Homo-oligomer: A and B are copies of this chain.
Amino acid sequence: MKKSKINRLRAAGWRVGSVREFLELSDEDVALIELKLAVADVIRRTRQRRELTQTGLAKLIGSSQSRVAKMEAGDASVSLDLMFRTAFSLGLSANEVSKQIAKPRPARGSSKKVG
């Protein structure tokens, strides 16, 4: 295993910095992961705003609910290509996605703190 579990960790509230040395992650890897997580968040929020279920979105993009779930979880098995394509299917433009990403999101998951 190398980057198969990173997203899980990060999604669970870990600060990336804390696992970076432990796993072998380059700066670019970290940046890419954070980008994916940001896009994942945009997708989830947009889907919810559109009042779509994961299943509904899956149908919209010609995929399955599990893919959507993984996508929103920032799972390593999902590419940026699929994420952006999905965002576009939700009616977002590239610029809109960019703006949503730039904007700091309200720190979800405040429970599992890290020392």
Contacts and interface: CB of A to CB of B under 8 A. Distances in A.
Q: How many copies does the complex hold?
A: 2
Interface string A23-52: 000011101101100100000000000000
B84 A81 contact: no
Contact of A32 (B31, B35, B85, B102): B85
Contacts of A101: 94, 98
Given A32-B81, A32-B88, A88-B28, A102 B98 contact: yes
A64 interface: no
Contact of A81 (B38, B80, B85, B94): B80
A16 to B, nearest CB: 14
A94 B88 CA distance: 18
Interface string A81-113: 100110011000111001001100000000000
Nearest to A99: B98
A27 B88 contact: yes
A99 to B, nearest CB: 8
Interface of A: 27-29, 31-32, 34-35, 38, 61, 79-81, 84-85, 88-89, 93-95, 98, 101-102
